[in-house]
């Protein structure tokens, strides 16, 4: 990974690696205020089996608990981002209670990731199939390598879309486009996903990890805690009346303006200098 420009001591290239661990199917690394979670089960094309979900849930819990982590970068090793559920395990897993337990396991991983009060950047390389697409959509910003694709594979198996697709996708691209995509069993290229607004930008595959990490670092060096508060309110916008949302915005603004990040941002604007949100926040904890 290449260094970033700027003066902040937490910039990539000068940040000490505080944690680097290889779990069974994940690599988890912290560099400064960014926690990178990398799916690394290439032999299964990073499929979401029980072990992968458990380890992913543990990594998200680590990001939540560690106040020095201000942003998360989720990506994958190998030619595929995530192939979805491991179909080799499906014939043994059709008992209704087992299916229900598996679905609860998906929820226990997905919800903490979606509701994490810190920015989450997802870097998608290669195919994101079925539940893998659901995982890719659980972040806040997505970067796609040129090889990235997004496939609705559920109905080919006679299965229901899951891992939040039926919640997230209509909100992101609209109900009609969601039905066209799911019922058509289609595949979106990286360019098509970008045209729909699902992808922030497309980068060459070889640059994806650097670009994704740098984007996460950019967010981490911003007012990340205030962004987390805004993220919590945005998640409620489709179910909330405008008058209620205006009230929530008022309460949120009161919290934001009492935060050290706001005080640093305001002081920096008045002093005509770049704000150091990371340093300001570190004094608070």
Give 10-residue mean pLDDT values along the chain (285 residues).
39 46 86 97 90 92 95 97 79 70 75 94 96 94 98 86 91 96 93 98 98 98 96 93 96 96 96 96 78
Cβ(103)–Cβ(109) under 8 Å? Answer: no
Provide the CATH topology of domain 17-220. Answer: 2-enoyl-CoA Hydratase; Chain A, domain 1 (3.90.226)
Which residues of the chain does CATH 3.90.226.10 include?
Answer: 17-220
Q: What is the pLDDT of residue 85?
A: 78
Residue 30, beta-bridge partner list:
19, 35
Per-residue pLDDT tens for 1-38?
A: 333 333 343 443 334 445 667 768 999 999 999 999 99
- Is the separation of the CB atoms in 106 and 160 below 8 Å? no
The pTM of this model reads 0.89
Start-end ranges of CATH 1.10.12.10 in the chain?
224-282
CATH class of the region 224-282: mainly alpha
Cα–Cα distance for residue pair 14/97, rounded to 1 Å: 50
């Amino acid at each position: 990974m290449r260094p970033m420009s700027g003066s902040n001591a937490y910039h990539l290239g000068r940040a000490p690696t505080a944690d680097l661990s290889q779990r069974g199917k994940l690599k988890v690394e912290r560099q400064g205020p960014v926690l990178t979670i990398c799916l690394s089960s290439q032999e299964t094309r990073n499929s979401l089996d029980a072990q992968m979900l458990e380890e992913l849930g543990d990594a998200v819990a680590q990001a939540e608990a560690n106040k020095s982590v201000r942003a998360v970068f989720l990506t994958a090793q190998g030619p595929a981002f995530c192939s979805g559920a491991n179909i080799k395990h499906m014939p043994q897993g059709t008992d209704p209670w087992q299916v229900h337990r598996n679905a609860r396991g998906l929820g226990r991983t997905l919800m903490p990731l979606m509701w994490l009060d810190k920015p989450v950047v997802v870097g998608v390389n290669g195919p994101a199939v079925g539940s893998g697409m659901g995982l890719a959509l659980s972040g806040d910003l997505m970067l796609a390598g040129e090889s990235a694709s997004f496939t609705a594979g559920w109905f080919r198996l006679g299965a229901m879309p899951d891992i939040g697709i039926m919640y997230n996708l209509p909100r992101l691209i609209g109900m009609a486009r969601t039905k066209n995509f799911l019922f058509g069993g289609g595949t979106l290229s990286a360019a098509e996903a970008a045209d729909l607004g699902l992808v922030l930008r497309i980068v060459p595959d070889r640059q994806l990890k650097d670009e994704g990490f740098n984007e996460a670092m950019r967010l981490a060096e911003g007012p990340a805690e205030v962004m987390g508060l805004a993220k919590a309110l945005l998640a409620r916008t489709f179910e909330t009346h405008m008058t209620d949302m205006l009230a929530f915005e008022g309460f949120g603004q009161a919290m934001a303006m009492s935060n050290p990040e706001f005080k640093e941002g305001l002081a920096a604007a008045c002093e005509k200098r770049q704000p150091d949100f990371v340093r300001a926040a570190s004094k608070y904890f």
